[in-house]
Amino acid sequence: MDTIEALMTTRAIRRFRPDPVSEADLWTCLKAAQQAPSGGNVQPVQYIVVRDAESRGVIGGLYRDAYARYSKVLGAPQSFRSPEDEASWRRTRDASDYLGEHLAEVPVLVLFLQPIIAWGTADAEGPLDIGRLDASVYPAVQNFMLAARSLGLGTALTTVIRISTAAALEALGVPSPEKWEIAALVPVGYPVGHFGEARRKPVAAVTHFDRWGNRQK
Ligand SMILES: Cc1cc2nc3c(=O)[nH]c(=O)nc-3n(C[C@H](O)[C@H](O)[C@H](O)COP(=O)(O)O)c2cc1C
C-alpha cells in the first residue's frame, strides 16, 4: 500500500481477531525493523517473538499485573481541549484496559530488547551527549509497526511490561537478564476494528519555521 497512507493510519490497535499471523509476514516486519537506523549503526535490538500459547499466557499475566498497578495510579486529566478529545481519551483508556485483560490472546507478541550498556563518549572537555541508546531502538519498533500496517496487521507500542521486566526476561529464558531492558512489547494480529487516522494536535500548532514562534499562516 502507499507509504504515506500506511503511516497516517498506523495507530494503536488493542483488540485483535484470533486469526494466525503468517510466518512470512512476521519476517517481513522483522526485516523492516532491522533495517531501521541506529547510532553508529550499532544495531542494538534483539527481538523475541512469542507465539506459543503457554509463553503468551505467562507474558500476558505479567502484563495484566503490571497494567493493573499502572492504571490504579493513572488519574484522568483535569480538563480536555474538546468533547472529542475527552471521548478519544475514554476510548483509549477502555481499549487499554481491554488489552490489559486480553494480551495473552493476541496471536503474536514481539518484545524488543535493548542491552544495558555504557553509551556515549567523552573528550578532554567532558561527556559528549549524542543521545540515548533508546533513540537507536524505537525506529526499529516503528518500522515494524509500519510494515505490519501495510500488511493489514494491527500493533500497539506498549511499555508497561517494564514494571515486570525481571520476571518477563526470566520467563523468556534471557541469559544475564540484568544486562537487558524491554524497550517495547508489541502485540501483533488482525484488528477487530478498522484502521484510521488518529486524532492529533494540528501540526501547524507545534511547528516553528527558522526560529521558535514563527508559525506558518
Ligand atoms: C512509549 C509508549 C508507551 C506506550 N505504552 C503503552 C502501554 O503500555 N499500553 C498501551 O495500551 N498502550 C501504550 N502505548 C500506546 C499509546 O497509548 C498510543 O500510542 C497513543 O494513545 C496514541 O494512540 P492512537 O495512535 O491510537 O491515537 C504506548 C505508546 C508509546 C509511544
DSSP letters, 109-123, are: EEEEEEE-----EEE
96 lines ligand 1 (CB under 6 A): yes
pLDDT > 70: what percent of the chain? Answer: 100
Asked if residue 157 has pLDDT above 90, the reply is yes
Query: What is the distance in A from the centroid of ligand 1 to the CA of 14?
Result: 10
43 lines ligand 1 (CB under 6 A): no
Q: What is the model's pLDDT at position 85?
A: 86
Which residue is associated with the grid cell 507465539? Answer: 51
Query: What is the distance in A from the centroid of ligand 1 to the CA of 210?
Result: 31
pTM comes to: 0.96
Over residues 166-202, the pLDDT tens digits come to: 999 999 999 999 999 999 999 999 999 899 999 899 9
pLDDT > 90: what percent of the chain? Answer: 88
34 burial via Cβ count (<10 Å: 0-12, 13-18, 19+): middle
145 lines ligand 1 (CB under 6 A): no
Residue 105 per-residue DSSP state:
G
Please tell me the distance from the alpha carbon of residue 49 to that of residue 31, in angstroms, as a whole number.
Answer: 13
The minimum-distance atom of ligand 1 relative to the CA of 185 is 8
Query: What is the distance in A from the centroid of ligand 1 to the CA of 157?
Result: 6
- Does 130 or 51 have the greater pLDDT score? 51
Q: What is the model's pLDDT at position 16?
A: 98
Q: What is the model's pLDDT at position 109?
A: 98
What band does 120 get if pLDDT is binned at 50, 70 and 90?
A: confident
Give the residue-averaged pLDDT of 35-40.
96
Residue closest via CA to ligand 1's atom 14 equals 158
Residue closest via CA to ligand 1's atom 11 equals 96
Query: What is the distance in A from the centroid of ligand 1 to the CA of 97?
Result: 12
64 lines ligand 1 (CB under 6 A): no
Asked if residue 134 has pLDDT above 90, the reply is yes
Contacts of 22 (CB under 8 A, 6+ apart): none
184 lines ligand 1 (CB under 6 A): no
Q: Which CATH superfamily is domain 3-206 in?
A: NADH Oxidase (3.40.109.10)
Give SS3 for 23.
helix
What band does 1 get if pLDDT is binned at 50, 70 and 90?
A: confident
Over residues 40-70, the pLDDT tens digits come to: 999 999 999 999 999 999 999 999 999 999 9
Q: What is the model's pLDDT at position 133?
A: 95
Q: Is 113 left (phi over 0), alpha (psi -120 to 50) or beta?
A: beta
Please tell me the distance from the alpha carbon of residue 199 to that of residue 58, in angstroms, as a whole number.
Answer: 33
Q: What is the model's pLDDT at position 77?
A: 85
Which residue is associated with the grid cell 532491522? Answer: 34
Please tell me the distance from the alpha carbon of residue 19 to that of residue 112, in angstroms, as a whole number.
Answer: 23
Over residues 75-112, the pLDDT tens digits come to: 888 898 889 888 989 999 999 999 999 999 999 999 99
- Report which secondary-structure segment, H or E, holds 14: none
Give SS3 for 185.
strand
158 lines ligand 1 (CB under 6 A): yes
Mean confidence (pLDDT) of the chain: 95
The minimum-distance atom of ligand 1 relative to the CA of 198 is 27
140 lines ligand 1 (CB under 6 A): no
